[in-house]
Amino acid sequence: MADSTASPTPVPPNHADRPVYVIGGGPGGLAAAYALRARGIRAVVLERSDRVGASWRGHYDRLHLHTTRRLSGLPGLAMPRRFGRWVSRDDVVRYLEKYAEVHELEIVTGVEVSRIERSADGAGWLLHATGGRELTGRAVVVATGTNHTPRLPDWPGRDTYTGELLHAADYRNPQPYAGRDVLVVGVGNTGAEIAVDLVEGGASRVRLSVRTTPHIVRRSTAGWAAQYTGIVVRRLPVRLVDRLAGPMAKLSVPDLSERGLARPDTGLYSRVKDGSIPVQDVGLIDAVRKGRVEVVAAVEAFEDGKVVLAGGERIEPDAVVAATGYVRSLEGLVGHLGVLDARGRPVVHGARSPKDAPGLYFTGFTNPISGMLRELAIDAEKIAKTLAKSVRKNAVS
């Protein structure tokens, strides 16, 4: 791996000698860099933090992959069997470090790219980065991921709330909350797992604020991982999967309506297509069924030191953990290029470049039901294959 204090190597004006710049040193960026290097294309990873896998290092302590080890490895290096079936956060970080080392990837840390635009000669891309750097590459792979910037809703009264309020990005473990009353806001996979973590860690009371009831699936049933089903159904029609998922949910997940979690009124796969993946159960079902996690209404505001819920109920927890997701923050980077949709998502991903931005690629900005790491690995190979084909074509011409 490159010296983390080094600057990107200046490149000559001949666009054929320019590297491909990969923005982001997480799994998607590392996989893309390896796949390109394996095809003889120089790839330089630009990472804003001081180490690879920065977002993984910042996740809560108990986090494990919800996808199997065998289907979570990146191209060119399998995850070690000793990691177990459900790989821990720390082992994911170790794997990413080893991945960069084994493949001798060219990585420059401490460099944040703020804007991408076409190069003056129209043959590549100009990257504006920290320290006034201007880097020119033949192509760019944006792999900054969906966990770029924590999103904290602008609830009325939030700025004057005097209680403890933190985003899930700042939550590490339940130790500081033992014996305390905690409200978790948001019932995605992060919120669900933090709520269970708090219960098991000795919080005196745990409430879970839910705006939209999620689909909940068992992570594994009789050894069959939910990921396997996700892979099987991914290419099937949405309506068909929705119809199949309903009866399966009734068989595998108890009715928690009396505990505040009614069954969703929209189909599982319809939700996935809209960007919302199911919650994989790691203890939430039992915790809700036994009343150890209390489901409450959505948060509407903060007022007089209390949390106001939909319907007008006011509660006064000792701490509020907002598992309210992240924003991609791509607008400043590429928003001026017309490559984002109305929700700030890339209009294409993987091996496809936007129509008016050839040579610009995006990976890691979807929520695939078949597993994020698996799809990052597939995207990396496809991007590298497409770029290698382009290089050969330019060489001939």
Fill in the DSSP letter of residue 341. -
Residues 353-371: tens digit of each pLDDT:
999 999 999 999 988 889 9
Residue 392 dihedral angles phi and psi, to the nearest 5°: -65, -40
Q: What per-residue confidence (pLDDT) applies to 147?
A: 85
What pLDDT band is residue 52 in, cutting at 50, 70 and 90? very high
Q: What per-residue confidence (pLDDT) applies to 395?
A: 65
**So what's the architecture of 152-322 in CATH?**
3-Layer(bba) Sandwich (3.50)
Strands 164-167 and 205-209: unpaired
In total, the chain counts a number of residues equal to: 397
What pLDDT band is residue 5 in, cutting at 50, 70 and 90? very low
Res. 21: pLDDT tops 60: yes
**Which ranges of 126-237 does DSSP label H, i.e. alpha helix?**
189-200, 226-233
Q: Which of 56, 49, 39 is nearest to 4 (CA)?
A: 49
Residues 251-303: tens digit of each pLDDT:
899 999 999 999 998 999 999 988 888 999 999 999 999 999 999 999 999 99
Residues 117-132: tens digit of each pLDDT:
999 988 899 999 999 9
Q: What per-residue confidence (pLDDT) applies to 148?
A: 84
Res. 211: pLDDT tops 50: yes
Residue range 15-148+328-396 in CATH 3.90.1200.10:
no
What angle (nearest 5°) sits at the alpha carbon of residue 332, between those of residues 331 and 334?
Answer: 65
- How far, in Å, CA of 54 to CA of 40, rounded? 27
Q: What per-residue confidence (pLDDT) applies to 13?
A: 43
Ramachandran class of 376: left when φ > 0, alpha when ψ lies in -120 to 50, beta otherwise? alpha
Sequence-distant (6+) residues with CB within 8 A of 394 are 16
Q: What per-residue confidence (pLDDT) applies to 117?
A: 97
DSSP SS3 for 204: coil
Sign of CA dihedral 134, 135, 140, 143: negative
DSSP SS3 for 77: strand
- How far, in Å, CA of 284 to CA of 324, rounded? 17
Q: Spell out the domain ranges in the chain.
A: 15-148+328-396, 152-322
Res. 172: pLDDT tops 50: yes
- Contact at 8 Å (CB) between 308 and 302? yes
The reply to whether 15-148+328-396 and 152-322 are identical in fold is yes
Between 148 and 81, residue with greater pLDDT: 81
Q: Which of 363, 302, 57, 59 is nearest to 163 (CA)?
A: 302
Amino acid at 15: H
